[in-house]
Amino acid sequence: MNNYIELSKKYPIFNYNKFNIAIKDDRLAVTFDFDNGEYFFKPSSYWLFNNVLNARKVNINEISPFVFNIGMIELISYWKATCSGLVNIYPAFINNYQSQWWRNLYYNGLGEFFYKNNIDVNIDEFIHFEIKNFDILPKQNLRYLQDKRVIVPIGGGKDSIVTLELLKKSNFEVIPLIINPNAATLRIIDIAQIPRAHIIEIHRTIDHTLLDMNSNGFLNGHTPFSAMLAFYSMLSAYLIGAKYIALSNEFSANESTVIDSNINHQYSKTISFESHFRYYTKMFLNDDIEYFSFIRPLHELQVAKLFSQYSEYFGAFRSCNVGSKDDKWCGNCPKCLFVALMLAPYINPNELENIFGRDIFSNMELKNTLDELLGLKMSKPFECIGTVDEVRAVVNQLITDEYYSHKPLFANLTPLPAPNIETLENSWNEFHFLPKEFEKILKNALNK
């Protein structure tokens, strides 16, 4: 808390100075200009032109509102280093509703950041926006949208693979979107037999000044990546005329990370954020583009069951943040353990060991992590994982299984209160934003 107070006093003002849009031979490039009086940041991103996106589809004036809002979400990564109390907004006007909307997103999206840095701060006091420009960037509703074109962001994990495969088999034209392609995401595109020239490829660069600050004791921590992805997806949909953006955030993401609190590692994957984002974009960006999570009605367990049908991806997908740079599962983190638990009821033990390159349930270093996943500690791991009920349901089954009951990680465990696996497999959460045609596709897949 002291570091937060000292830094916010030393750097009381943060400036969002401008954004820039440039069309080059092979790309659409955007840059942003931020500073806190002493440190200056110029992060940038670009969209590669290809079969689905080309220069003829880009009107700089039309996309300015989208880019300005991308700047508002990019800003959070740089602002959090000092948590300046005042943010000056120079590129465009935002009204009181928008100011409060952004304050809510920053506050909830930084819940983990505040928690881990021991920052106790009030939502109405931690940040204020001062508008320095009264030019309103108008909402863009003129572009023709193709009703059968859907963008599917690909992150490398099983959830987006399920969305991709189910929609690919429908009568929709699926356009994968990848930010900073890596080996796993490109493998998935290749296995799905989608040409690389038929994807939206975005390259996003973090200003190295921030990385230097992080190593020199400035505040650092988790930011709402999925909110950033949402704004990049919205501009991408407008650029290519896609009516739909189908995310892969399941019902399980709604559960808080810290028990009995609103602190959620996955805030920007929740139905709450999805609802707020849909309203905001229809008010200020475009009425017609539909942003929703395709697997929102489902638990992680149900997604894992669907994924188990696509064995061609078993060796390709990756969800482990620790091993991501080396394109592997580390086998020793909460994400690895959680994914293994979700898949264990649906694929045979040999296949499971092949995925992770080890017998993960014999790793006693994960005992404390298992207790956290089971809800036996004050907090679940700060990872994108499912609910306590799901983990308990799986573990309750595995400890009675002839093979798994002998694994060291499950030794001396007794059943914990939870629904059984069949109950979770048959559940359907009605609070979602799936258009009817997408809902039908998902229900058909569940009922096979």
Asked whether residue 262 falls in the same domain as residue 386, the answer is no
The 8-class DSSP code of residue 25 comes to S
Q: Which residues, other chains included, contact 314 with Cβ-Cβ below 8 Å and sequence gap of 6+? A: 347, 351, 354, 355
Same domain? 6 vs 150? yes
Q: Verify that 289 and 323 share a domain, yes or no.
A: no
Biggest CA-to-CA distance, the chain:
69
Q: Based on the domain organization, do 210 and 244 belong to the same domain?
A: yes
How confident is the model at residue 422, as a pLDDT?
97
pLDDT in tens, 57-89: 999 999 999 999 999 999 999 999 999 999 999
- As a whole number of angstroms, the distance between CA 392 and CA 218 comes to 39
Q: 143 pLDDT exceeds 80? A: no
Whether residue 432 lies inside any domain: the answer is no
Given a cut of 70, is residue 2 above it in pLDDT?
no
Residue 299 lies in a domain: no
Query: Is residue 447 in a domain?
Result: no
| Domain contains 306 | no
Nearest to 78 by CA among 35, 31, 121: 35
Domain identity same for 266 and 364? no
- Same domain for 111 and 194, yes or no, is yes
Whether 256 and 354 map to the same domain: the answer is no
Enclosing H/E stretch for 231: helix 225-240
- Please tell me whether residues 9 and 56 are part of one structural domain: yes
pLDDT single digits (tens) 21-41:
999 999 999 999 999 999 999
Q: Are residues 261 and 344 in the same domain?
A: no
Q: Bigger pLDDT: 261 or 47?
A: 47
> Which pair of structure tokens corresponds to residue 412?
């001396």
Domain of residue 195, residue span: 2-293
In terms of pTM, does the model score above 0.95?
yes
DSSP 196: G
Question: How do residues 302-341 score in pLDDT, each as one tens digit?
Answer: 999 999 999 999 999 999 999 998 999 999 999 999 999 9
pLDDT digits (tens, 9 = 90+) for 108-133: 999 999 999 999 999 999 999 999 99
Position 303 in a domain: no
Say whether both 350 and 417 belong to one domain. yes
Number of residues that make up the chain: 448
pLDDT at residue 1 is higher than 60: no
- 380, 252 Cβ separation under 8 angstroms: no
Q: Tell me how far apart the alpha carbons of residues 127 and 140 are, in angstroms, rounded to a whole number.
A: 29
Kindly state whether residues 235 and 380 are assigned to the same domain.
no
Contact 95, 56 (CB under 8 A): no
* Percent of the chain whose pLDDT exceeds 70: 99
Q: Per-residue pLDDT for 367 more than 80?
A: yes
| 439 domain residue, yes or no | no
Residue 448 included in any domain: no
- In 3D space, the residue among 397, 323, 394, 332 whose CA is nearest the CA of residue 360 turns out to be 332
Tokens 């750097």, residue located: 11
Residues 255 and 123 in one domain: yes
pLDDT in tens, 151-186: 999 999 999 999 999 999 999 999 999 999 999 999
For 286, the token pair is 């475009």
Count of domains observed in the chain:
2
